[in-house]
Amino acid sequence: MLALSGLMFYCAAAWSAPAQAPVKIGVLTDMSSVYSNIGGSGLVEAARMAVADFGGQVLGKPIELVYIDGQNKVDVSSAAARRWFDQDGVDMITDLPTSATALAVSEVGREKKKIIMVTSASTSDLTGKACSPYTVHWTYDTYALASGTGAEVTRQGGKQWYFITADYAFGNALQADASAVIERGGGKVVGAVRSPLNSPDFSSYLLQAQASNAGIVGLALGGGDLINAIKQAAEFGVGRGDSKQRLVALLAFFSDVKSIGLELGQGLLLTEAFYWDQSDATRQWSQRFQDKVGRKPTMTQAGTYGAVMHYLKAVQAAGTKDSDAVMAKMRETPINDFMTRDGKLRTDGRVVRDMYLFQVKTPAESKNEWDLYKQIGVIPGDVAFRPLNQGACPLAK
Distance CA 135, CA 138 (A): 9
Nearest to 106 by CA among 78, 128, 80: 78
Report the DSSP beta bridge partners of residue 121.
none
Q: Mean per-residue pLDDT for 97-124?
A: 97
Residue 347 burial (CB count, 10 A) = 14
Q: Mean per-residue pLDDT for 332-344?
A: 97
pLDDT in tens, 7-34: 333 333 334 334 568 999 999 999 998 8
Q: Which helix (H) or strand (E) holds 248?
A: strand 246-249
pLDDT of 167 above 90: yes
pLDDT of 211 above 60: yes
pLDDT of 168 above 70: yes
CATH class, domain 23-140+278-352, is alpha beta
Distance CA 96, CA 113 (A): 18
pLDDT of 87 above 70: yes
Distance CA 263, CA 364 (A): 10
pLDDT given for residue 225 in this prediction: 92
Distance CA 265, CA 130 (A): 35
Q: Mean per-residue pLDDT for 96-118?
A: 97
φ, ψ of residue 252 to 5 degrees: the values are -130, 130
pLDDT of 2 above 50: no
Distance CA 28, CA 40 (A): 9
pLDDT-derived band at 238 (thresholds 50, 70, 90) equals: confident
Nearest to 23 by CA among 81, 67, 62, 68: 62
Percentage of residues of the chain with pLDDT beyond 70: 94
Say how many residues make up the chain.
397
Write down the mean pLDDT value for the chain.
92
φ, ψ of residue 374 to 5 degrees: the values are -125, 135
CATH class, domain 143-272+378-384, is alpha beta
**DSSP, res 20:** P
Is 350 in contact with 127 (CB distance < 8 Å)?
yes
Please report, for residues 200, 212, 279, 289, 338, the alpha-carbon distance to residue 219 in angstroms, rounded to integers and kept in the order given. Answer: 15, 14, 29, 29, 30
Stretch(es) of the chain classified as CATH 3.40.50.2300 = 23-140+278-352, 143-272+378-384
Sequence-distant (≥ 6) Cβ neighbours of residue 117 within 8 angstroms: 92, 93, 94, 135, 136, 138, 307, 308, 311
Stretch among 204-218, 232-246, 248-262 having the lowest mean pLDDT: 232-246
Distance CA 41, CA 32 (A): 9
pLDDT given for residue 344 in this prediction: 98
Nearest to 152 by CA among 359, 390, 362: 359
